[in-house]
Amino acid sequence: MLEFLGYFIIGGMVVSLTTYYGSKGHGFLAAFISMFPSMTVLIFFLLYRAGGKASVIDYAKSLVYVVPPWILYVCAVAFLCDRIGIWFSLAIGITLYFCVSICLNQLR
């Protein structure tokens, strides 16, 4: 149970630092912090401990399939935010992410 508290603290630090620097106009630094592979390093390590190398390999291969939909999501929000506002751009971006992820999952 204590390990989950550690995950929560790490995740909270990433969100807090990203929000802080992003709100101060340091978009690149905010993006760097949020996309730094600290979470995947932690997840790879914990998956390896819990399920061995097969779990890590399966997760890593699956992660590759959700990168293109994630890029589409980010581009949709960046393009639409100024045009239709944050809420609608997020809704459209998340919908695109979800739909494209499902389609790519069906293709593998």
Any domain includes 8: no
DSSP SS3 for 108? coil
Q: What is the per-residue pLDDT for 43?
A: 86
30 located within any domain: no
The pLDDT score that the predictor gives to residue 38 is: 74
pLDDT recorded at residue 60 = 94
Structure token digits, residue 41: 């390093």
Q: Is 100 part of a structural domain of the chain?
A: yes
Dist. CA 66–CA 84, nearest whole Å = 25
Q: Is 39 exposed, middle or buried (0-12, 13-18, 19+ CB in 10 A)?
A: middle
For 46-104, what is each residue's pLDDT tens digit? 899 999 999 999 999 999 999 999 999 999 999 999 999 999 999 999 999 999 999 99
Q: Which residues span the domain enclosing 93?
A: 53-108
Is 6 a domain residue?
Answer: no
Asked if the structure places residue 1 within a domain, the reply is no
Tell whether 65 is covered by a domain: yes
pLDDT attached to residue 14:
85
> Quick check: is 96 in a domain?
yes
Query: In angstroms, what CA-CA distances link 4 with 11, 23, 24, 86, 108?
Result: 10, 28, 30, 31, 32
Residue 75 lies in a domain: yes
* Chain segment 3-37, per-residue pLDDT in tens: 778 778 888 888 899 999 999 999 999 988 888 88
pLDDT of residue 41 exceeding 80, the answer is yes
Number of domains in the chain: 1
